């Protein structure tokens, strides 16, 4: 559902504030269900002054958050800025089950220690998008652990196996003869129960979470609550332009990456992918984005528009000064120059082979890869091309360049 015109579905005329809230809700979203119920919730909130409770749950399955995660976090922040109460839910309990969404095999559950380590960084990184002073932080172990075996059985009795098998990934796995572990049925139930515990009015998630979000509506009705609405956001396509952004696919941009890396990676995407990223990652309105499209159609170089997106994203996570410096450094590198703020690397073991130094500096995955870069004339030291990987470097300070964009100032002792 990408139509950004706010619908007049409430039984009374909509105020300008409610219309604006609907426009914010719909920007870039895939579906908002049921939209008439969400409209009426907004009308009621405006009339009573009681903010709506908006929930987003993330399982700490890795240590870091990337731009793909921020698609729903951005939407949360937009609704937070309208005065609603947002709840950032860390799925420390559900992580032990493993989300089967989009999986064709059983997901290996994480250990408690892994979950605790990952959860430590999740909220700190999410706070780069959300306003931490206005965000309610919860862990679903708060109510899931006390539920116990008896409570789990009572919860499971509120849904049928037939309905569970309507889920697309379960259905495909069953028909293809792939195994489905019984504990995987518990995941959507527990995520749905989170909505009961938090009394949420709206739950956000990616398009792959629709079944789980609808489970929350079902269970809230089972427990006598007004059901939440659901808002799904498209999955952000990664740097490769093919698969969704994922650390396992190595097509991601981490929100803690240094400014120069973040800026240059955004600029590396295709022009076509840029238009898919703008509605999901930019805070520009759809009218402003369409105006940019029109300018490009009339002859504006799309790199100018992509540069603006890279600057906006980098500034969001690193500040205006760092983003401007990253932009300047990229322009300098593009002309063959050396940027000012280089990563500093201290190495010992001189004399050291060039390939070993490149690997140790983190500019190549292996010495073999470094040697191939040297053979391909892709390595410079202090501006001079390196043609022999057997060269040994003595102690000193040098500027190492790999390719056009990777630099490091190496102190070799």
Report the sign of the C-alpha dihedral through residues 187, 29, 202, 7, in that order: negative
Over residues 191-205, mean pLDDT: 97
In the chain, list all ranges with CATH 3.10.290.10.
344-412
Select, from the ranges 154-163, 209-218, 347-356, the one with the highest average predicted confidence (pLDDT): 209-218
| Tokens standing for residue 365 | 């995955």
Q: How far apart are CA 93 and CA 219, in angstroms?
A: 18
Give pLDDT tens digits for 16-32. 999 999 999 998 899 99
Does the pLDDT at position 251 exceed 50?
yes
**Of the candidates 146, 127, 137, the residue with the CA atom closest to the CA atom of residue 198:** 137
Q: Is the pLDDT of residue 107 over 70?
A: no
Higher pLDDT, 140 or 180: 140
pLDDT the model gives residue 113: 80
Q: Is the pLDDT of residue 300 over 80?
A: yes
- Above pLDDT 90, what percent of the chain? 50
Inform me whether the pLDDT recorded for 7 exceeds 70.
no
| pLDDT at residue number 61 | 74
For 344-412, give the CATH class: alpha beta
What is the distance, to the nearest Å, from the Cα of residue 346 to the centroid of all Cα atoms in its chain?
Answer: 32
288 touches 304 (CB < 8 A): no
Q: What is the mean pLDDT of the chain?
A: 87
* Segment of 11-25, 241-255, 278-292, 381-395 carrying the highest mean pLDDT: 278-292
**Reported pTM:** 0.73
Cβ atoms within 10 Å of 47's Cβ, excluding its own: 11
Check residues 398 and 224 and name the one with the higher pLDDT: 224
Asked if residue 110 has pLDDT above 90, the reply is no
What's residue 177's pLDDT?
A: 85
152-155, Cβ contacts within 8 angstroms, sequence gap of 24 or more? 152/186, 155/189, 155/193, 155/219
Cα gap 192→320, rounded to integer Å: 40
Buried b (16+ CB within 10 A) or exposed e, 255-279: bebebbbbbbbbbebeeebbbbbbb
pLDDT for 103 equals 52
- Locate 214 and state its tokens: 């609808």
- Within 247-400, where are the H helices? 259-267, 271-281, 286-297, 302-318, 320-334, 354-360, 367-375
**Sheet of 396-402, strand order:** 344-347, 406-412, 396-402, 379-381, 384-385
Q: Where in the chain is the domain with CATH 1.10.240?
A: 259-334
Q: Where in the chain is the domain with CATH 3.40.50.620?
A: 51-233
pLDDT grade for 170, boundaries at 50, 70 and 90: confident
What's the pLDDT band for 53 if we cut at 50, 70, 90? Answer: very high
Query: In 206-253, which residue ranges form alpha helices assigned H by DSSP?
Result: 210-222
Name the pairing type of β-strands 352-353 and 344-347: unpaired
Lowest mean pLDDT among 37-41, 96-100, 306-310, 390-394: 96-100
Query: Is it the case that residue 8 has pLDDT exceeding 50?
Result: no
- Given a cut of 50, whether residue 186 has pLDDT beyond it is yes
CATH topology for the 51-233 domain: Rossmann fold (3.40.50)
Q: Which CATH number fits domain 259-334: 1.10.240, 1.10.150, 1.10.10, 3.40.720?
A: 1.10.240
């Amino acid at each position: 559902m990408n139509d950004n015109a706010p619908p007049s579905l409430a039984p009374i005329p909509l105020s300008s504030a409610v219309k604006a809230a609907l426009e914010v809700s719909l920007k870039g979203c895939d579906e908002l269900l049921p939209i008439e119920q969400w409209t009426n919730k907004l009308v009621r909130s405006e009339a009573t002054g009681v903010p709506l409770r908006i929930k987003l749950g993330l399982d700490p399955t890795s240590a870091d958050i990337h731009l793909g995660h921020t698609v729903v976090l951005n939407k949360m922040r937009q609704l937070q800025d309208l005065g609603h109460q947002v709840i950032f839910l860390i799925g420390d309990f559900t992580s032990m089950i493993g989300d089967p969404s989009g999986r064709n095999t059983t997901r290996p559950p994480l250990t408690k220690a892994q979950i605790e380590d990952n959860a430590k960084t999740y909220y700190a990184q999410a706070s780069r998008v959300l306003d931490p002073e206005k965000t309610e932080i919860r862990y679903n172990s708060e109510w899931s652990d006390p539920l116990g075996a008896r409570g789990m059985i009572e919860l499971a009795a509120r849904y049928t196996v037939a309905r569970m098998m309507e889920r697309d990934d379960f259905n495909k796995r069953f028909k293809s003869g792939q195994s489905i572990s019984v504990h995987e049925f518990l995941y959507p139930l527990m995520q749905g129960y989170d909505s009961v515990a938090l009394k949420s009015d709206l739950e956000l998630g990616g398009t792959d979470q629709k079944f789980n979000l609808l489970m929350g509506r079902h269970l809230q009705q089972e427990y006598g609550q007004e059901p939440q609405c659901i808002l799904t956001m498209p999955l952000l396509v990664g740097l490769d332009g093919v698969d969704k952004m994922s650390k396992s696919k190595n097509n991601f941009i981490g929100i803690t990456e240094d400014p120069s890396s973040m800026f240059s990676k955004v600029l590396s995407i295709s022009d076509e992918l840029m238009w898919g990223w703008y509605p999901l990652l930019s805070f520009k309105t759809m009218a402003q984005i369409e105006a940019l499209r029109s300018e490009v159609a009339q002859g504006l170089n799309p790199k100018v528009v992509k540069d603006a997106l890279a600057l906006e994203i980098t500034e969001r996570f690193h500040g205006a000064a760092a983003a401007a410096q990253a932009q300047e450094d990229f322009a300098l590198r593009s002309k063959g120059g050396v940027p000012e703020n280089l990563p500093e690397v201290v190495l010992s073991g001189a004399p050291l082979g060039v390939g070993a130094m490149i690997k140790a500096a983190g500019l190549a995955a292996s010495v073999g890869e470094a040697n191939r870069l040297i053979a391909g004339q892709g390595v410079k030291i202090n501006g001079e091309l390196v043609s022999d990987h057997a060269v040994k470097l003595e102690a000193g300070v040098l500027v190492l360049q790999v390719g056009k964009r990777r630099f490091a100032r190496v102190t070799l002792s």
